[in-house]
Amino acid sequence: MRLLRWMAVLLLTVLAFAAFGQLYGQRFRNFFSYDDNEFPADTEFVFARWQYGRGRNGGWWHDYPDAEEHINQVMKEATGIHVDRASYRIVPMSSKDIFKYPFGYISEPGMMWLTDEEVKNFREFIDRGGFVMIDDFDGPRQFSVMRQNLERVFPDRDMFRMTDNHPILNTYYKIDSLYVESPYNVGADAVFYGINNEQGNLAVIICFNNDVGDFWELIDQPVYAVRPSAEALKLGINFVMYAMTH
The stretch 62-67 carries a mean pLDDT of: 96
Segment 162-177, tens digit of pLDDT: 999 999 999 999 999 9
pLDDT beyond 70 at 228 = yes
Output the pLDDT for position 21. Answer: 42
The stretch 58-73 carries a mean pLDDT of: 96
Assess contact for 41 and 86: CB atoms under 8 A.
yes
Output the pLDDT for position 34. Answer: 45
Backbone φ, ψ for residue 210 (5° rounding):
-155, 170
Q: For the chain, first and last CA: distance in Å?
A: 28
Could you give the CA distance from residue 134 to residue 208 in angstroms, rounded to a whole number?
8
pLDDT beyond 50 at 126 = yes
pLDDT beyond 70 at 4 = no
Output the pLDDT for position 199. Answer: 96
Assess contact for 194 and 206: CB atoms under 8 A.
yes
Could you give the CA distance from residue 66 to residue 156 in angstroms, rounded to a whole number?
36
pLDDT beyond 60 at 157 = yes
Output the pLDDT for position 186. Answer: 87
Segment 82-94, tens digit of pLDDT: 999 999 999 999 9
Assess contact for 197 and 203: CB atoms under 8 A.
yes
Output the pLDDT for position 41. Answer: 78
Output the pLDDT for position 54. Answer: 75
The total number of structural domains that make up the chain? 1
Segment 87-119, tens digit of pLDDT: 999 999 999 999 999 999 999 999 999 999 999
Output the pLDDT for position 29. Answer: 44
Q: What angle do CA 105, 106, 112 make, to 5 degrees?
A: 165
Which residue range is the domain that position 105 belongs to?
2-245
CATH number at residue 7: 3.40.50.12140
Output the pLDDT for position 5. Answer: 54
Output the pLDDT for position 57. Answer: 75
Collapsed DSSP state (helix, strand, coil) of residue 122? helix
Segment 202-212, tens digit of pLDDT: 999 999 999 99
Output the pLDDT for position 181. Answer: 85
Collapsed DSSP state (helix, strand, coil) of residue 37? coil
In the chain, the largest separation of any two C-alpha atoms, in whole Å, equals 50
